[in-house]
Amino acid sequence: MPPSVPLPDRQRAGAITGQFNRPAADSAFLQGLNAEQRDAVLSTEGPLLVLAGAGTGKTRVLTTRIAHILTSRRARGGEILSVTFTNKAAREMKERIAHLVGATVEGMPWLGTFHSIGARILRRHAELVGLRSDFTILDTDDQIRLIKQLLEAENIDEKRWPARQFAGLLDGWKNRGLMPSDVVPAESAFFANGKAIKLYADYQQRLRDLNAADFGDLLLLCIDVFRQHPDVLAEYHRRFRYMLVDEYQDSNIAQYLWLRLLAQGKPASEANICVVGDDDQSIYGWRGAEVDNILRFEKDFPGAKVIRLERNYRSTANILAAASHLIANNESRLGKTLQTDGGVAGEKVGVTSVWDSEEEARQIGQEIEDLQRRGESLNSMAILVRASFQMREFEERFITLGLNYRVIGGPRFYERREIRDALAYLRLIANPTDDLAFERIVNVPKRGIGDTTIKVLFDTARHQKVPMVNAVRMLVETEELKPKQRSTLRGLVGQFDDWAERSRSVPHHELAQQVLDESGYTEMWQQDKSPDSPGRLENLKELVRSMEEFESLGGFLEHIALVMDRDSGEAEDAVSIMTLHSAKGLEFDTVFLPGWEEGLFPHQRALDESGRAGLEEERRLAYVGLTRAKRRLRLSVAQNRRIHGLWQAAIPSRFLDELPADVVEVKDTGSAYGGYGYGGRAANRFSTADPFDSLYETPGWQRAKAQQANRRSPGPTTIDGELVARSVDLGSGSAYRVGDTVVHLKFGSGVVVAIEGNKLSIDFEAGRKKVLDSFIRKG
DNA sequence: CAACATCTACTTTTT
DNA sequence: GTAGATGTTG
């Protein structure tokens, strides 16, 4: 055991460190780690970049590293900052550390998601950014409603400039760490004729008035505090002796800046920061993640040690070969070669062509039942889809089969309407100035308070610069409102006063139940005849039950905003259905990947919006999907898929062409119709029977190749005049020109009349159509 | 002000 | 095909 580092007298660091006097502890952890993993665990001092391929034991390294730091007494639990992206990952790390060091995680207060740690820090210094420490955390729903109010106040037509779109802009800015004053006017021009910057400033002001912060603020305002108050930052420099970041490839600029500020306590070359990631699994570019963060880590922290974990312990050789071969088609990557640990080749990767998504569901259901009969557990199987609408078909099929399944992801518990309503009541009790909560529930259940009355309340509140509840108190003393509304509102504030009073004596979960009953909210759903109302009542019960686990109402509300993710009961044996995104970090014996069709996967929108960079991200998504499988991998292609209610012929995904032929086994379901499918074709030929069918010569493929040549980068992002990050964007120049004669599989020949990215408007005999350029060729 | 009917736009991924 | 959002009517 290394000599222990003397610790300055510091505030209570929690229970963990007190318990290790076991000299053998370290060697016990290190057992079973390979040389690289061990190196990553033991290289505690100085910057470290761990490039961990899929299935190479990344989480194990992280948790062992923390355990090692703790048991070697290099730091106490409270001195380690350890950030993840998802609550799931944070929870898993806590469990595994607890398992390793045999203690509870009470001593690791700074292990959590970026957002929860950001919130924690921000609450301690809220007054520095004009908030109180009990500020509310807005979710997307509140955010949209607030934006709508602002748009209305500015007389901006909501039809033309939807609130959602502005929310997207806001998100983008906040992800890049931009305050209203940092936004360049050019970017503002896209929305409401340049009013976007002002709207952003107004929005932030409104948040301050409401004593609220949105998700982005949890980091952005933290950064602001750090920058404006070096003393505060210094406090964290002293506190955090070690920093660890999971899934670094998913970090955005704001997160990057936040980390960089926190790491500045020491010269960069001595910072004890360890980031773990895999550039090949970067799949969140669309929400601002910058793969470049990981690519430039060595520049940020000169002398950083780089360790590659390339030994895969998860998948069979065939699966690994398929994944490696596919991802090799990406240009922008650091390049790793995954190697099996001398494992078996295993089954080949099955590729099945089916007629449509219904047959796809039938066929997969069938195979699952076969596997089940052979003794495989449903828990070991998963269906990973590109888009959530694909899930329904499987659910329907599995219901008729009586096959147990569970959907992971989907709408979160706290995003359900009834939960949000209930929470609004509770929020308002905890904090009467929460106007958004007030507006949400004044008329839920229906109380005869309509838009006109609410408008009066709102205007009065704004004029008097008081919260809406106070405005109500004032108005009920006047003749401003009709008698009916007046008495209703008087009754309502009376009830809230009553509840607030009771909240001091009654346990919060009991109070919650009383509030729901007395407000008439429970009754509202009891009266409701729609089929989902029993479920809603059930959810409300679940909400009240879950509150028991928390110390206080405040603690509960914080938890629900940031952490409440559904931990789906693993108890029952069931097939998992989820999106590829939510599958990251998981593994299953058998993985089904349906819907490998152009347009769906790679998703058309990714291609349209981000060109080749988008394609590469889709390919990484495919890579993530393939590498989830331990022993058995099944892909499928539907020849027809219904999109927006109409049937469309589908073209097999180009990703299928990128799998090595020798590990793939094409299975024919025998239901292929008229020339589609694989009958009589070469084994590795996945394109349909169209005239442009030759492998690697599809127009889309050629275009992708052509575009590799003409890279084009947008202006790189700079902050403080320094290059922060630059995404690889290779543009989407079209191989076609207006006037070109082209041939389309379905519409025949036509003339190009307009080009918009890779979407072409073409006059066919059948009329003018918008089509994707990968569906046509020059005529 | 609420209920109903109609219309529409929407379907990538989420802390 | 669906679920929201809007508009119209009572």
Question: pLDDT tens digits for A179-190?
Answer: 999 988 887 777
A488 labelled ligand-binding: no
- Nearest residue to B11 (CA, C1')? A389
Is the pLDDT assigned to residue A216 strictly greater than 60? Answer: yes
Task: Give strand B nucleotides closer than 7 A to any protein Cβ.
Answer: 1-3, 10-15
Per-residue HEC secondary structure of A364-379 comes to HHHHHHHHHHCCCCHH
**Mean pLDDT along residues A411-429:** 83
For the ranges A233-237, A313-317, A725-729, the lowest mean pLDDT is seen at A725-729
A541 labelled ligand-binding: no
Name residue, tokens 């004593």: A211
Mean per-residue pLDDT of chain A: 80
**Mean pLDDT along residues A572-586:** 90
For the ranges A35-39, A204-208, A314-318, A483-487, the lowest mean pLDDT is seen at A483-487
What is the pLDDT confidence band of residue A498, given thresholds at 50, 70 and 90?
very high
Instruction: Output the pLDDT for position A281.
Output: 92
Q: Is the peptide bond before A602 cis (omega within 30 degrees of 0)?
A: yes
Instruction: Output the pLDDT for position A703.
Output: 36
Instruction: Output the pLDDT for position A772.
Output: 47
CATH class given for the domain over A25-130+223-309: alpha beta
Q: Which residue has the higher pLDDT, A325 or A11?
A: A325
Is the pLDDT assigned to residue A114 strictly greater than 80? Answer: yes
Instruction: Output the pLDDT for position A764.
Output: 64
**CA dist., res. A105 & res. A314, Å (int):** 28
Give me the CA A12–C1' B13 separation in Å, rounded.
41
For the ranges A297-311, A321-335, A631-645, A685-699, the lowest mean pLDDT is seen at A685-699
- The conformation of residue A5, written as its DSSP 8-state character, comes to P
Give me the CA A754–C1' C4 separation in Å, rounded.
33
Instruction: Output the pLDDT for position A18.
Output: 39
**CA dist., res. A63 & res. A84, Å (int):** 12
What is the pLDDT confidence band of residue A222, given thresholds at 50, 70 and 90?
very high
Task: From residues 424-453 of A, list those within 7 angstroms of strand B by Cβ.
Answer: 443, 446-453
Domain limits of chain A? 25-130+223-309, 136-210, 339-404+573-667, 415-565, 740-778
Is the pLDDT assigned to residue A761 strictly greater than 90? Answer: no
Per CATH, the number for A339-404+573-667 is 3.40.50.300
**Mean pLDDT along residues A316-344:** 84
Is the pLDDT assigned to residue A337 strictly greater than 90? Answer: no
Name the residue type at position A364.
I
Strand B close to A5 by CB, under 7 A: no
* Highest mean pLDDT of the ranges A459-463, A570-574, A576-580: A576-580
**CA dist., res. A301 & res. A619, Å (int):** 29
Is the pLDDT assigned to residue A744 strictly greater than 60? Answer: no
Q: How far is CA A678 from CA A322, A348, A653, A723, in A?
A: 20, 17, 14, 50
Instruction: Output the pLDDT for position A725.
Output: 33
Give me the CA A733–C1' C5 separation in Å, rounded.
37
For the ranges A313-327, A350-364, A513-527, A677-691, the lowest mean pLDDT is seen at A677-691
**Mean pLDDT along residues A155-159:** 77
CATH topology for the A136-210 domain: Arc Repressor Mutant, subunit A (1.10.10)
Active site residue A628: yes
Instruction: Output the pLDDT for position A681.
Output: 33
**Mean pLDDT along residues A510-514:** 93
Is the pLDDT assigned to residue A771 strictly greater than 60? Answer: no
The reply to whether A25-130+223-309 and A339-404+573-667 are identical in fold is: yes
Q: How far is CA A555 from CA A16, A34, A417, A547, in A?
A: 23, 42, 21, 9
What is the pLDDT confidence band of residue A105, given thresholds at 50, 70 and 90?
low
Report whether A696 contacts A657 (CB < 8 A): yes
Per CATH, the number for A415-565 is 1.10.486.10
Active site residue A529: no
Q: Which of A38, A58, A94, A195 is catalytic?
A: A58
Per-residue HEC secondary structure of A126-182 comes to HHHHCCCCCCEECCHHHHHHHHHHHHHHCCCCCCCCCHHHHHHHHHHHHHCCCCHHH
**Mean pLDDT along residues A275-284:** 92
Active site residue A446: no
Is the pLDDT assigned to residue A604 strictly greater than 80? Answer: yes
* Highest mean pLDDT of the ranges A376-380, A555-559, A689-693: A376-380
Strands A242-245 and A273-277, sheet pairing: parallel
**Mean pLDDT along residues A213-242:** 95
Tokens of A664: 């793939």
